[in-house]
Amino acid sequence: MKKLTLLITLLAFMAQTNFAQEDKFQWLEDVDSEKSLDWVENWNDKSLSILKNQPEYNSIFEKNLEIYNSTDRIADPSIYGNFIYNFWQDKEHERGIWRRTLLKNYLSDNPEWETVLDIDKLSEKDNEKYVFKGATGLYPDYKKFLVNLSKGGGDAVIIKEFDANTKTFIEDGFLVREAKGSANWIDENTLMVSTDFGNGMTTSGYPKQVKIWKRGTELKDAKLIFEGKEDDMGIWGYTLPTKNKTYSVVMRRTSFYSGSYAFIEKGKIITPELPEDISFSTIFNEQAIFELKSDWNTGIRTFKQGSVLSIYYNDLINGKKNFELVVEPDERSSITEISSTKNVLLVNMLNNVKSELYKYTWNVKWEKEKIDAPELGNISLGATDENSDNYFFYFTNFLEPSTLFNGNAKTGKFNKVKSLPSFFPTEKYKVQQYEATSTDGTKIPYFVVSSKSLKLDGTNPTLLYAYGGFEIPMLPSYNATTGTAWLEKGGVYVLANIRGGGEFGPKWHQAGLKAKRQIVYDDFHAVAENLIERKITSPKKLGIFGGSNGGLLVGVAFTQRPDLYNAVVCAVPLLDMKRYNKLLAGASWMAEYGDPDVPEQWEFIKKYSPYQNVKKEMKYPEVFFTTSTRDDRVHPGHARKMVAKMNDLGYKIYYFENTEGGHAGASTNDQRAQMYALIYSYLQMKLMN
């Protein structure tokens, strides 16, 4: 009898710790195995044969391609010395060209562009599917760059030294092999490099060492200046060049939201005493600018969570604590961006999920002035010039296409550079902001974009989008594809500002961390229920869409509340929360979700993990999963295994895996056009037909 009792206890323990549950689909985590890729090809063929044959697919695809290839798009500017640089993709340049023009030409009606680097030609020459991932210029004349190239769109990049005058990669120049790393200029002959130096990366797949590399020497012989631990999230070194000094910074992240900052002075590492969750923004006029994620008592005074602080750099590295308050948001506001020009610190704020732009100048104390930018929408800061007060910013909302403005930060004056054309008749639609009440009584705001003639009868096809993680706010923006493929077809679009995001500052994000994660999903369900209560829609007509962490969100949503949703687009998702920390960058997100290898934390994670909670004989919607073979951030195994398991349980699902594209899911305009044609064809099939 004792043996039987012991056996029962052991079996119960194994079940509780998940040891008894063999993952028979784990083989799909082998990304490039022949067996896995055959499985992907079969599912792609099966799903595309249905989705591409939907009545609207071809027209949506062609319209998407017209939008993405439109020459009326804004050429997003980057300021490097006297030039405006821009990366551009269109029908003739599938993988894109990196090009430049003078500022005065850029501001003209028809700027003449000079191609600096053709990614299509480079891809053909090297027989690689390159994706341009940006470049770092050598201050102050920007004649040389460190160009970042990804193979297929993943986060890992090759870094090559490039001569902007000859428009060629420099033979025997700096070259950093493919890794999730970075390199920055200290001077023309010296780099600060964070990469895989041959001794491995952190468990999250990021660099654990920073070295200074001199021209003419081997990278392996570069001087080590900082080394972290294998279980750190990652270590990155970077530089901030100014007229009088190039500042060298090392950022050590022990987790996604904690770590430390070190500054290099005369070859020595100086690590100021700062809160482990503080965020260093920039150096402005010899002052270091920080953002607080929690309250902080410096010993001199207490600063509140969400505040922006400043301190003279020399005081900082000498251990002083004489911080000054730049701005302190209130309960319904937060900081979304900080940038600077020669004389002005620009602060972009949210007030009840609507943007406001402010300029701050230092004159013994900080002086604040609101810039008379457009209101009731989303402002995002663009390029700034460290040698003048010239800067760019964008404005958009659900019904106003993005407009680029060029301004003088010191005077506050600005002029419109270009507006995107509208691809659908926005005058027919309206935007309303509502609130839903979550399970703990918190009011959760959300936006509804609909026809002005909307009838509240519960029959409106409605698409609900949210993210709910990593302090990333979801803001109003114009989306031509959503307008043409959804709103014009009679659909309603909803954007929810659930907790986990950054709409109301760090506290809004921290309310949904780790053991408190369920509240994020409760917020989402509450918005769905509120839409139904208002008769904007009904469960039969309600679809949901989320990507990455948002893919986890909608995965939880349909497994917890299948009664609320009839269509689910689950893109590049996390789904297996038992193994997420062992796959690619997953270990870096344990500060967000918790550690599934710790029994106490697995207790709360397992309650919502979609892969573990999908069950037999439930009335789940027919989910559409998408991912990318070359996603090296969120492992494609999440989506693959969920599809295999649901299929094994007898559920009908759809699946598409793009063979490149990285975490974005697509690399070219043609791929983007196809992806969203598939998504909206699926949504129309499920909610409109």
Question: Half-sphere exposure of 251 toward its Cβ, with a 13 Å CA cutoff?
Answer: 21
CB 538 within 8 A of CB 492: no
Whether the CA torsion 407, 403, 113, 120 is positive or negative: it is positive
Q: In whole angstroms, give the CA distance from residue 435 to residue 443.
A: 6
59 is catalytic: no
Q: In whole angstroms, give the CA distance from residue 677 to residue 407.
A: 37
Place of tokens 């390159």: 130
Q: Which H or E element spans position 16?
A: helix 2-16
C-beta neighbour count of 403 within 10 angstroms = 18
- Among residues 260, 663, 667, 681, which one is catalytic? 663
Residue 391: what residue type?
Y
DSSP E strand boundaries for 427-517: 429-437, 443-451, 462-465, 492-496
Bridge pairing between strands 296-297 and 302-303: antiparallel
C-beta neighbour count of 652 within 10 angstroms = 10
Which pair of structure tokens corresponds to residue 149? Answer: 């190239």
- Among residues 204, 548, 609, 628, which one is catalytic? 548
C-beta neighbour count of 385 within 10 angstroms = 17
Would you call the peptide bond into 329 cis, given omega within 30 degrees of 0 as the criterion? no
439 Cβ partners below 8 Å, 6+ apart?
519, 522, 526
338 Cβ partners below 8 Å, 6+ apart?
281, 282, 289, 291, 308, 345, 346, 347, 348
Residue 653 DSSP class: -
What is the distance of C-alpha 238 from the center of its chain?
A: 20
Residue 185: what residue type?
W
CA distances from 111 to 100, 164, 208, 383 (A): 10, 19, 44, 18
Q: In whole angstroms, give the CA distance from residue 363 to residue 361.
A: 7
Query: 412 — alpha (psi -120 to 50), left (phi > 0) or beta?
Result: left
294 is catalytic: no
C-beta neighbour count of 532 within 10 angstroms = 17
User: Known catalytic residues?
Assistant: 548, 663
